[in-house]
Amino acid sequence: MTRVDVGVGARVLSVDVSGASDGAPVFLLHGTPGSSAGPRPRNSVLYRLGIRLISYDRPGYGGSTRLPDRNVVDAAVDVRAIADRLGVERFAVVGRSGGGPHALACAALLPHRVERAAVLVGLAPRDAAGLNWYEGMAESNVRAHVTAEQGTIDQLGELRALAEQTAADPESLLEVLQAQMSGPDVRFMQSVLYRRLLAKSYADALRVGPYGWLDDILAFRRDWGFTLDSIVSPVRLWHGAHDTFSPASHSRWLAQRIPRSEVHVQHDAAHFGAVEVLPRILAWLTA
């Protein structure tokens, strides 16, 4: 794995590149909270698939400079800057959980560069007509999003406290989440390896403060800055049917509005099934 710092104006983005150096480039956009250190296939799997995997800390997370009041659409600017710095002209993009809206932003704003896009357990826009946005969502997520309706970071006191607790003890967030998981995610958390990878990602994400997480939540509540029907690349949406953090109804709603999209809801999976399905999605992205 190679780490690169990429400048975007006065900001710096912390980027990790792994897999085959001459492989098909794929951007992996991490969840909320998360970092470029999040779960990913082993290098041996990436080499076998012929993939050069590029991930980065969104602004305010890990080693990336914060961008106050950022919007979802700003991710396209950052991904383009990273691609330019790495000499990558055409690429695919996949967003996991909170990375999903940001992946769609890249597909919408960079149509001549994004060949395919995928969204795993993603969210729909807050103003999604005809969607009961909170139905099936865990209480902790509902509270965070409802509070963010106030529109200012000062209102997110409960989430800030959770972020500070997680920074001090990353495993504590897993315990908070586990209390609101469905069966497939509870079984996923029995893996010591996956728990270790998630805890490392949370620790890296929050080592400089809570703002990446807070800014993500606020960005999801605002206008995303693009329309779904402007996306021309093929898009695959994947969701676990028993997801209690971002319900599968969100992916179904997105699939009805993205022109060249397909949706797969896996009935024996939930939110963290996105980690296990990633190799299969990477193979589709680079087919």
Q: What is the mean pLDDT of the chain?
A: 96
Asked if 32 and 213 count as a contact pair (C-beta separation under 8 A), the reply is yes
If DSSP codes are grouped into helix, strand and coil, which group holds residue 165?
Answer: helix
Rounded Cα–Cα distance for residues 110 and 83 (Å): 11
Tell me the per-residue pLDDT of 206-230, one tens digit each, with 9 for 90 and over.
999 999 999 999 999 999 999 999 9
pTM over 0.75, yes/no: yes
Tell me the per-residue pLDDT of 155-212, one tens digit each, with 9 for 90 and over.
888 999 999 999 999 999 999 999 999 999 999 999 999 999 999 999 999 999 999 9
**What average pLDDT does the segment 64-78 reach?**
97
Q: What is the pLDDT of residue 155?
A: 81
Asked if 100 and 123 count as a contact pair (C-beta separation under 8 A), the reply is yes
Q: What is the pLDDT of residue 44?
A: 95
Residue with tokens 């206008």: 223
**What is the token pair recorded at 87?**
């000499």
**What is the token pair recorded at 224?**
């995303």
Q: Is the pLDDT of residue 150 over 80?
A: no
- Sorted by where each starts, the structural domains of the chain and their CATH numbers stand as 2-285 (3.40.50.1820)
Q: Name the phi and psi angles at 219, rounded to 5.
A: -65, -40
More confidently predicted of 153 and 120: 120
- Say how many residues make up the chain: 287
DSSP 178-204: HTT--HHHHHHTT-HHHHHHHHHHHHH
- Residue 141 banded pLDDT, cuts 50, 70, 90: confident
Rounded Cα–Cα distance for residues 8 and 77 (Å): 8
Q: What is the pLDDT of residue 194?
A: 94
- Residue 200: burial class (beta carbons within 10 Å; 0-12, 13-18, 19+): middle
Q: What is the pLDDT of residue 144?
A: 84
